[in-house]
Structure 1
Amino acid sequence: MPLRLNLPPLTRVLLLALVALSALNATLRFRAWNHFLDSQSPSTGLDALTTAASYLSSPQWAIPFLVLVPPKSLKFPWTFVTAPVVENNVLSMSISLAVLWAGGRYLERAYGSSEFGRFVAVTAVVPNFLTFLIYTLWHISGTPQYPTPIQGLVALEAGFLVALKQLVPEHTVSLFRGSIRVRIKHFPALFTALNMLSGPIFGTDTALWLSFFGFLSSWVYLRFYRLSDIGASATATAGEGSTMRGDASDTFAFVAFWPDMMQPFLTPICDGIYETLVQLKLFKPFSEEAIVAGNENVAARSDGLPSIMNGRGGSGRRAEAERRRAIALMALEERLNAPSLAGRSTGAPTGGHDGAANGSIASSQAQAPVVATQKEDNA
């Protein structure tokens, strides 16, 4: 029987692009290295061979029309698109292939191909552009002989983890036959922290910036800009047939990415940043209706998601859906009960809700208004 790859179309394109462009990059680097060796005199051949032996990793052999080489690649603007799908060695390419195969297949089915394409474009291009600016300024201020090339799928890997945290935060991954169990909601922060530590230690400083910007850009896009359908149980809040811009749920707030013990310290910082951005008119706060609808949507959308492992339903998916629904409903109940409890304790009317005073992790976030396709009175 012929082998059939059960992959959505855009994931398949990304996999083919990764293999093809990485192979082309390796071939061109080898030719440049080999040409350099041939041009050396016999008296310097040994030294040249020693210097050029790492042709797959040395910045001397970077291809400026395939990867981002500050500032040379300004002449080749398409490299902001090609650089993310170019890897330099077999190990990094194997990791990237595995991430695309598993993460891309799941997310494309959950989001749809068009929305998944927008997510990939934001998460891959924006971090590379920002990293390119940082290294361009650095190289201009003290230009080394061979500027640091920027490439690889690190930013998209961070973005995939952020997206999985949004969709299946309570899914648990078991490693080493169950000796290590980690929930997906902890993966984005763990991945970013490891890359930030490995930069100074192993010299992979580009991975530091790419993972950090990949984390932020994917979260900002999903939190504030992505349009998604309102789940069935949320229609009472948002209106039937509605869509919601971003994800206003408490479980997807920025501090929710970090361990519980850190959240009391991070919440004031996030609130301060948020207030500053509001004062600068860069963001608007979530409405209470948007937060309630977001929390309800978290509970409602579980049943519509494919299995994280094989794209089909099963007992594992049902258990995951129940865990996520219980967490979302608990957060929703706490938010709805908070005004009445505050009113009884102070003897004041219960007409408002101050998220910051109640330690709400959602108050540190920005605009994601519910965009109803029905009349606004349904909201």
Structure 2
Amino acid sequence: MPPRLNIPPITRILLITLVLQSFLSGAIRYRQWSAESDVVVPYIALVPQLSLIYPWTFLTTTLVENNIFTFGIAGVTIFYGGRYLERAWTSAEFAKFLLVTSLIPNVMCFGTLVFLFAVTGEMSWTLTTINGTIPLQIGFLVAFSQLVPAHTVTLFKGIISLRVPRFPLLHILGVILLSLTPMISAASTFSVLSGFLISWTYLRFYKQAFPDLETSQPASLRGDASETFAFSEFFPEPVKPVVASLSNQIYNILVAFKICTPFSHADVSASRGETIVQRGTPGSARAEAERRRALALKALDQRLHAATTGPSKPNPPPAAPASVEVQPQPNVQAPATMLGETSYVPDRDDGKS
């Protein structure tokens, strides 16, 4: 009997909705297709000029794909990424994240297309379809960058090696290039950019952080003040200082308008002391355990190094009586040989904003 797929409830609903809506949209477009015009389904997908009387499309359009290629990517993203994040955050927190990363980017993209129409007068902007799981895809990548910032993905037998925080920018670049082809609409560029900003802002400042049960941290902590999740961490080293300076200015403006609440000293100390756990289910503290294990391994390595390399002069054995023959003692293996050696390469900790 084949093993049963263990899919959490929210992820299961997403997959079913994706299949049903994409199939329905494809069937309608196929029946009405003509070579003279493009077919849109404004009561499922979001079309700025036609969908205002169907307000639910601001949510449903996220789970509508127009071709088999994007449908396959969407299914794989939700199946693997959704299962991981839902188990890490609980279904309630995962549902909140989905709502934020679906609704707000679609609204922002809608406003951008209307603005472009108002500036250029081109009616095609308001007839551009906003659909697809692109906001969810970039949101999942940002979430992975928060949960496993030091994880490195190796491809093609080590030819390509990238840390997880590098993937969001690569995804944005890929979407921009694909939006120049008929495969996805031009609105996908605005969707991926707004999805990136919204998902990072939500995780950085608003998402509830689960306290470590072994500490006295309050349960009302929100956001992630860790330096590994700073906005500049998503960018290559040469441009990090510029991005950090610019993001600081924007952050100060948002704080002045009371859109963002500045982190307290306790929040920063908690993030550095590894007392905040971003996952709340049993066995979900894997990332925290890995980082704590790395710190413990580093401390052990330093102690072993000090014990084996430091000068030590053993005390001479007491003189034996002349009538007693001293037997040679067997060789005792050195502590370093018994315990083995450890290898720890810490991540370089840059100053972040």
Q: What TM-score, normalized to structure 2?
A: 0.76
* 2:325 aligned partner: none
CA shift, 1:324, in A, is 8.8
CA shift, 1:28, in A, is 0.5
Q: State whether residues 169 and 235 of structure 2, in contact with CA within 8 Å, keep that contact through their aligned partners in structure 1.
A: yes
Local SS of the residue matching 2:127: coil
Over the residues paired in the alignment, what is the CA RMSD in angstroms? 3.0
Q: State whether residues 168 and 320 of structure 1, in contact with CA within 8 Å, keep that contact through their aligned partners in structure 2.
A: no
* 1:76 aligned partner: 54
Alignment of 1:165-176 (within 5 A): 165-176=145-156
* 1:26 aligned partner: 26
Letter in structure 1 aligned against 2:28? L
CA shift, 1:299, in A, is 7.5
Counterpart pick for 2:352 among 361, 368, 374: 361
Counterpart pick for 1:159 among 133, 139, 158: 139
* 2:269 aligned partner: 292
CA shift, 1:173, in A, is 1.9
* 2:98 aligned partner: 120
* 1:57 aligned partner: none
Once residues 47 and 72 of structure 2 are traced to their aligned partners in structure 1, the CA distance between those partners, rounded to angstroms, is 23
Q: State whether residues 303 and 321 of structure 1, in contact with CA within 8 Å, keep that contact through their aligned partners in structure 2.
A: no
Once residues 261 and 139 of structure 1 are traced to their aligned partners in structure 2, the CA distance between those partners, rounded to angstroms, is 36
Letter in structure 1 aligned against 2:227? D
Alignment of 1:1-379 (within 5 A): 1=1, 4-33=4-33, 48=35, 51=36, 60-139=38-117, 141-144=121-124, 147-200=127-180, 204-232=185-213, 235=215, 239-297=216-274, 322=293, 360-362=351-353
Q: State whether residues 210 and 277 of structure 2, in contact with CA within 8 Å, keep that contact through their aligned partners in structure 1.
A: no
Structure 1's 300 and 224: CA in aligned 2 closer, same or farther, altered over 3 A? closer
Q: State whether residues 129 and 185 of structure 2, in contact with CA within 8 Å, keep that contact through their aligned partners in structure 1.
A: no
Q: State whether residues 170 and 320 of structure 1, in contact with CA within 8 Å, keep that contact through their aligned partners in structure 2.
A: no
Once residues 211 and 324 of structure 1 are traced to their aligned partners in structure 2, the CA distance between those partners, rounded to angstroms, is 36
Report how many residues are paired.
299
CA shift, 1:303, in A, is 11
* 2:316 aligned partner: none
* 2:304 aligned partner: none
Structure 1's 128 and 146: CA in aligned 2 closer, same or farther, altered over 3 A? closer
Of 22-31 and 166-175, more deviation after overlay is shown by 166-175
Letter in structure 1 aligned against 2:352? I
Once residues 240 and 292 of structure 1 are traced to their aligned partners in structure 2, the CA distance between those partners, rounded to angstroms, is 11
Structure 1's 193 and 177: CA in aligned 2 closer, same or farther, altered over 3 A? same
Local SS of the residue matching 2:123: coil
Q: What TM-score, normalized to structure 1?
A: 0.71
**What is the CA deviation profile of residues 164-192 of structure 1, one whole-angstrom value per residue up to 9, with x for unaligned ones?**
00001122222234432221121112212
Unmatched 5+ stretches in structure 1: 37-47, 53-59, 328-358, 363-379
Of 261-270 and 208-217, more deviation after overlay is shown by 261-270
* 2:340 aligned partner: none
Unmatched 5+ stretches in structure 2: 299-349
Q: State whether residues 99 and 157 of structure 1, in contact with CA within 8 Å, keep that contact through their aligned partners in structure 2.
A: yes
Once residues 247 and 85 of structure 1 are traced to their aligned partners in structure 2, the CA distance between those partners, rounded to angstroms, is 28
Q: Which entry has the higher C-alpha Rg, 1 or 2?
A: 2
Q: State whether residues 109 and 306 of structure 1, in contact with CA within 8 Å, keep that contact through their aligned partners in structure 2.
A: no
**What is the CA deviation profile of residues 261-281 of structure 1, one whole-angstrom value per residue up to 9, with x for unaligned ones?**
321222221122222223333
Once residues 320 and 280 of structure 1 are traced to their aligned partners in structure 2, the CA distance between those partners, rounded to angstroms, is 36
* 2:319 aligned partner: none
Letter in structure 2 aligned against 1:97? G
Q: State whether residues 80 and 125 of structure 1, in contact with CA within 8 Å, keep that contact through their aligned partners in structure 2.
A: yes
Once residues 160 and 282 of structure 2 are traced to their aligned partners in structure 1, the CA distance between those partners, rounded to angstroms, is 26
Letter in structure 1 aligned against 2:201? V
Once residues 242 and 145 of structure 1 are traced to their aligned partners in structure 2, the CA distance between those partners, rounded to angstroms, is 45
CA shift, 1:222, in A, is 0.8
Q: State whether residues 87 and 281 of structure 2, in contact with CA within 8 Å, keep that contact through their aligned partners in structure 1.
A: no
CA shift, 1:136, in A, is 2.5
Structure 1's 73 and 326: CA in aligned 2 closer, same or farther, altered over 3 A? farther
Of 216-225 and 286-295, more deviation after overlay is shown by 286-295
Structure 1's 267 and 144: CA in aligned 2 closer, same or farther, altered over 3 A? closer
Letter in structure 1 aligned against 2:212? G
Structure 1's 305 and 320: CA in aligned 2 closer, same or farther, altered over 3 A? farther
Of 190-199 and 285-294, more deviation after overlay is shown by 190-199
Q: Give the structure with the higher percent helix.
A: 1
Q: State whether residues 46 and 61 of structure 2, in contact with CA within 8 Å, keep that contact through their aligned partners in structure 1.
A: yes
Q: State whether residues 186 and 258 of structure 1, in contact with CA within 8 Å, keep that contact through their aligned partners in structure 2.
A: yes
